[in-house]
Amino acid sequence: MDITEYIQLVFTDYTLRTITLGTAILGAVTGMLGSFAVLRKQSLLGDAISHAALPGIAIAFLITGAKDSNTLLIGALISGLIGTFWIRGIVSKTHLKSDTALGLILSLFFGFGMLLLTFIQKQPNANQAGLDKYLFGQAATLVESDVWTMAIVTGICLIVMLTFWKEFKILLFDKDYTKTLGFNTKIIDILITVFIVLAIVLGLQTVGVVLMSAMLLAPAAAARQWTNSLSVMVFLAAIFGASSGILGTAISASQNNLSTGPVIVLVAAVFVAFSFIFSPSRGLLFRQIRFIKNRRDLELHKTLTFMHHIAETHEDISHPHAIKLLNNFQGYTKNTLQKLVDKNYVQLNGNMWSLTKTGFETAANLYTKQSTKDE
Amino acid sequence: MSSAQLEIQLIACIVAVACAIPGTFLVLRKMAMISDAISHSILPGIVVGFFITQDLNSPLLILLAALTGIITVVLVEYIQKTGLVKEDTAIGLVFPALFSIGVILIAKNANDVHLDVDAVLLGELAFAPFDRLFINGTDVGPKSLWVVGTILLITITLLILFFKELKISTFDKGLAASLGLSPAIIHYGLMSVASVTTVGAFDAVGAILVVALMIAPAAAAYLLTTDLKKMLALAISFGIFSAILGYWVAHWLDASIAGSITTVLGFVFLMVYLFAPLKGIIAVMYREKQQRTEVSLLTFLLHLKNHDEVEERHVNHLNEHINWQKVRAKTVLDLALKNNMILIENNVVSLTKKGNDFTSKAIDYIITNEDAQIEDMKDDFFLFRG
């Protein structure tokens, strides 16, 4: 199936269109809110919350006896929030650290949810099948109304985020300052947390509890590498999230036996790996290149100083010396020597080199200069 | 109780103990979430191992999967070292990616693999007694019993052999390094034990329960004691208690054993979290209230010491002057009276000698910036605490 054909199919096929739209919106909203989670150093909160949502789904089902996805999501939202606030309680009131609190809530809530799910499965209610789709998510079960819910929640998120942008931003980077300015940090804090929980809960049906944390983190972590500005980061994260959703859906649709959730997560992981390596300012590749370049420069300096030491012993600073003399000094290569020639510090004459006047002066002042021009 | 039931409980108990030991150290080293990451990311290792061995209990599979666990740790540390993201983000990025690879591997080979993700994540203890190990045709018990038993033995041996090293490197990395113990070796050793335990136990109890069994007993024990040996012992007992009680709850509800053990663990932790004598939430809240009253008391006494005038020391005046609500004023006044620090005559409050001594000493501490000393002083002066 080629690409144009696929794109055509996206527009004509109901299921594919719904899933593509759903995953794209989901990716965008989780990317946006994930940026806040990552910057607040609450990356793993997403993992904990998504697991903690499971008992809520089960209890909502036990109470209503219906599999309406909205009621189940409300249950998930409530139990996710309980989990979040319990984590905070543990961290603030006891000496247990946040990692322990997260792991505790995650595993305990999830275990309790499993107990309830297996308990439900034994009940004589024919309606119960399919609850376990929330474990790993099944994008194929998305229907148009789910996409509408997502779109509405995303819209609310956007409005709230734009309205409170200043507050969110300032709380993110300087909590104490926010307090002294008279903002109610508690309310802003709760607002952000509620929206993060909401985004996680929305994604449960599509990618499931296990992989939801990656949806929250990966786009944001990738976006972080390209910019230092919050607004750009949020925007980029939304784009990365949406693209992983669309691409992931496309890849899983074109193959048999590929569930959408894991593919989306892997696509997002590829985005992250790409950003880690190729981001111009922070990326590993350019960092390594800069590293090598700096080392070359240092070696060039070393060679120049060495030449200077030799030249000093002669009355005529431009007295030629054999290149061989430099051999017992490791710092030079043909390239660096050529560079020195290009800068007019050194003159090469067959196998001999000699310092020029500028070269001699530069070398003499090399380590005393306050600011070095790039050389 | 049938022999199958006995065997299930035995396996659950052994897993609980095997998890509690590395779990205690993970909690103390603030690496609890690593256990969650390992428990998820071993999935591709298990799948690949299963392709090779075709046996979920084969030692090779356990080693392969444990290796994936260690790769996770190394990857997390590598990403963290690049400084591009924080540690927790690194964890959150690595394990879902590895887990996804595992899920996709299973899905792509669904026809040849008798392995599904639910089983890996949740386990099914109830089936464990039916997969038996035969040596020369004689039945020597369930396979998973042997697997987790061996792992427990190894863990205990390592714990006894390296207890001192573990203890030092957990609490003071610098000291451990300067004593010539390599913190890195201990770190990776602990990670390996955690990985092997997770892999060995997942088949019986599932990956999530492994996390619960590692963290919850240790966290509960940490709220009760600060002594490492006692903490280990408590964590182990919590684990065993939850394993047995959890089994019977599951039996009664006819639900997942792993889920029910976790729920019991959650209940145990909740109880400890609420009622632990020193670190429990109720004790903490009570102490906070006590502190608040005692600070008010000190303010009140300082006020009395500063004012000799009768009108400043009149009961009614105090109420409005220090601007306390009635109830709080009454609590503070009663406390001061009970401790013989003040006298009330004709509704005029005055300091007793003891109250005077206490206040002078407190002022000394406050102006020399040694406020912490006041806490100790309270023990000498107070007959009743706030």
Q: What is the pLDDT of residues B309-355, one digit of tens each?
A: 777 777 777 666 666 666 677 777 788 888 888 888 777 788 888 88
Cα torsion B149, B151, B155, B157 to 10°: value is 70
Position B303, amino acid = H
pLDDT of residue A326: 67
CB contact under 8 A, A210 and B121: yes
Q: Tokens 């980061």, residue?
A: A233
pLDDT tens digits for A282-296? 888 888 898 888 887
pLDDT at B366 over 90: no
For A135-139, A292-296, B38-42, B160-164, which range has the lowest pLDDT when averaged over its residues? A135-139
- Computed over every residue of chain B, the mean pLDDT equals 84
**Topology (CATH) of B3-279:** ABC transporter involved in vitamin B12 uptake, BtuC (1.10.3470)
Tokens of B327: 């109830």
Strand partners, A346: A355
Q: Residues 316..355 of A with a Cβ closer than 8 Å to B: which?
A: none
pLDDT of residue A95: 87
pLDDT computed for residue A102 by the predictor: 92
Instruction: Verify whether the Cβ–Cβ distance B79 to A276 is below 8 Å.
Output: yes
Domain edges within chain A: 3-279, 285-364
The DSSP letter of residue B314 is B
pLDDT tens per residue, range A39-67 = 888 888 888 998 899 899 889 988 887 77
**CB–CB contact B85 A44 (8 Å):** no
Q: Which residues of A touch B273 (CB under 8 A)?
A: 90, 94
Q: How confident is the model at residue B218 (pLDDT cuts 50, 70, 90)?
A: very high
Q: What is the per-residue pLDDT for B216?
A: 94
Tokens of B311: 């009108």
3-state secondary structure of B57: coil
Which has more pLDDT, A66 or A181?
A181
Flag whether pLDDT at A333 surpasses 90: no
Please check the confidence at residue B14 and state whether its pLDDT lies above 70: yes
Contacts of B367 (CB under 8 A, 6+ apart): none
Closest by Cβ to A265, choosing from B100, B254, B255: B100
Residue B243 contacts A, CB cutoff 8 Å: no
CATH 1.10.3470.10 fits A3-279, yes or no: yes
By percentage, how much of chain A surpasses pLDDT 70? Answer: 91
B135 has pLDDT over 80: no
Q: Retrieve residue A188's tokens.
A: 């802003």
Give yes or no for B216 touching A (CB within 8 A): yes
Minimum CA–CA partner of A212 in chain B? B96
Is the pLDDT higher at B111 or at A197? A197
Q: Per residue in A209-242, pLDDT tens?
A: 778 888 889 999 999 999 999 999 999 999 999 9
List the one residue out of B125, B142, B124 whose CA is nearest residue B133.
Answer: B142
From chain B, the residues in CB contact with A113 under 8 A are: 259
Strands in A321-322's sheet, in edge-to-edge order, are: A321-322, A352-355, A346-349
B282-381, CATH topology level: Arc Repressor Mutant, subunit A (1.10.10)
Rg (CA), chain A: 30
B260 touches chain A (CB under 8 A): yes
Helix (H/G/I), strand (E/B), else coil: B138: strand
Other Cβ atoms within 10 Å of A271 Cβ, number: 23
B40 interface with A at CB cutoff 8 Å: yes
- For chain B, give every domain's residue range: 3-279, 282-381
pLDDT of residue B230: 94
Phi, psi of A248 (to 5 degrees): -60, -45
Q: Given pLDDT bands bounded at 50, 70 and 90, which one contains residue B112?
A: low
Q: What is the pLDDT of residues A255-283, one digit of tens each?
A: 777 788 889 999 999 999 999 999 888 88
Nearest to A118 by CA among B104, B206, B135, B244: B206
Chain B within 8 Å of A222 (Cβ-Cβ)?
Answer: no
Selected residue with higher pLDDT from A83 and B366: A83
Q: Does residue A342 contact residue A267 with C-beta atoms inside 8 Å?
A: no
Range with the poorest average pLDDT among A328-342, B218-232, B250-264, B334-348: A328-342
Least confident of A57-71, A90-104, A151-165, B266-280: A57-71
Task: Output B253 or B153, whichever has higher pLDDT.
Answer: B153
pLDDT at position A375: 45
Q: Which fold has domain A285-364?
A: Arc Repressor Mutant, subunit A (1.10.10)
Q: Which residue has the tokens 């790409």?
A: A274
